[in-house]
Amino acid sequence: MKNKAKILLVDDEPELLKAMHRMLKDDFDVVMTSQCHEVFRLMRTDSFAVLIVDLVMPDLSGLEILQRVKQMSPATEVIIVTGYASVRTTKQALRAGAYDYLERPFARAEIHHVIRNAVIHHELNKSEESGEDATDPAQTMVLLLERIRQLEDQLTQEEVRTFQNTVELLYQLIGARQHDMMMHLHSVEDYALPVARRLGFDEGEKTDLQVAAAFHDIGKLAVDEAVLYKPGPLNKEEWEVMRQHPVIGARIVGTVKGWENAADGVLYHQERVDGNGYPEGLSGKQIPIIARIVTVADAYDAMTSERAYKTAISRQEAIQELEDNKGTQFDPEVVDAFVSII
């Protein structure tokens, strides 16, 4: 909606009115009153998309207010608020023309959802009532598209929540087994994301990078800890096991629908731009950009972190190391973006 929809809140308890006002003021043009007679005066002088009224008022019941409001302004949608939604009163309210009802206590998301639907219904009714748009499907189409957009937004928010929860759950699982690895994955994610912003990634690419960075080493959970934390150089067999970690990690990450690109980021994060990396020996731009970013962030964090089997080098030394290996181990463009941020 370009303009905020006008809604009228009616409740005899000022504290409840204030609480609802706080929940709604950012998204709606809210007028409120605790007096029944005030409702009808306001309805005569102004027009409201939605009226939200407490079922139990001192002078008139919410049902009586509902009936009079529907006579005065049939297009205004009425939502009844009740402390107890008895089947009988709810049915009565709906039969008398209430659009919906809310049972206390309600959450912010719930009241927003109900009011938004009521506003859409109001807009559609108004078009029909005025007649001027009744033969114009364009207006109806605009309103329906607006509703679809709102539903899509809700879905996207839900998806984002699910995604963040999934990432957190996996972190916790990894942390329960290997705390160092969890810290490393967190850091690599933190280092990688600003690079994506610097390189102008869109939202989808940023999410792919976030997942790849966050789980690039998840395949190491399959590697024996004696090999993983061995202080000295690995022998041939140990090295063969270690080289499998990107493949195993990509297989794990790739099982999640929508994380296929991220899985490639995991698979190729040990490749080098000169073609001497593993598992496939890809070179230059054959290596997905996500993987090239993870490689740099991964190396930087590994170099600057103290571990049981190694000491850390300074930030300056690590940056020098990245610069020295530009074009052999690391993608020069990524190193430049990384260094400019770090």
Strand partners, 33: 10
* Min separation Cβ 122 and Fe ion, Å: 55
What is the token pair recorded at 323? 């610069």
CB of 298 to Fe ion, least distance (A): 4
Q: Are the beta carbons of 193 and 211 closer than 8 angstroms?
A: no
Between 100 and 217, name the residue whose CB sits nearer to Fe ion: 217
Contact mark string toward Fe ion, 240..279, x via CB under 5 A: ----------------------------------------
Task: Please report how close the Cβ of residue 10 comes to Fe ion at its closest, in angstroms.
Answer: 59
Q: Which is nearer to Fe ion, 123 or 298 (CB)?
A: 298
Query: In this complex, which beta carbon is closest to Fe ion, that of residue 22 or of residue 310?
Result: 310
Interacting residues with Fe ion between 189 and 218 (CB under 5 A): 217
Question: Taking phi first (over 0 means left), then psi (-120 to 50 degrees means alpha), and beta for anything else, what does residue 275 get?
Answer: left
Q: Greatest CA span in the chain, whole angstroms?
A: 88
Integer angstrom CA distances of residue 331 from 164, 216, 302, 328, 337: 29, 18, 17, 8, 10
Q: Which is nearer to Fe ion, 189 or 217 (CB)?
A: 217
Instruction: Write out the binding residues for Fe ion, residues 216-235 only, by CB under 5 A.
Output: 217
Q: How far is the CB of 237 from Fe ion (least distance, A)?
A: 21
Separation of alpha carbons 75 and 254, rounded Å:
51
Distance between CA atoms of 263 and 192, rounded to whole angstroms? Answer: 16
- What letter represents residue 34's amino acid? S
Are 249 and 268 in contact by the 8 Å Cβ rule? The answer is no
Closest CB to Fe ion among residues 271, 298: 298
Least distance in Å: CB of 216 to Fe ion?
Answer: 5
Between residues 116 and 184, which has the closer beta carbon with respect to Fe ion?
A: 184
The reply on whether position 100 binds Fe ion by CB under 5 A is no
Least distance (Å) from Fe ion to the CB of residue 19?
48
What is the total count of residues that contact Fe ion (CB under 5 A)? 2
Question: Which residues is 77 bridged to in the sheet?
Answer: 50
The Cα–Cα gap between 292 and 271 comes to 8
Residue sitting closest to Fe ion (CB)? 298
Residues in the chain, overall count: 342
Which pair of tokens denotes residue 304?
Answer: 């600057």
Residues 292-311 close enough to bind Fe ion by CB under 5 A: 298
Which strand (E) or helix (H) includes residue 48?
none
CB-facing half-sphere around the CA of 125: CA atoms within 13 A: 16
Nearer to Fe ion by Cβ, of 140 and 305: the residue is 305
Provide the minimum distance between the beta carbon of 230 and Fe ion in the complex, in angstroms, as a whole number.
Answer: 16
What are the residues binding Fe ion (CB under 5 A)?
217, 298
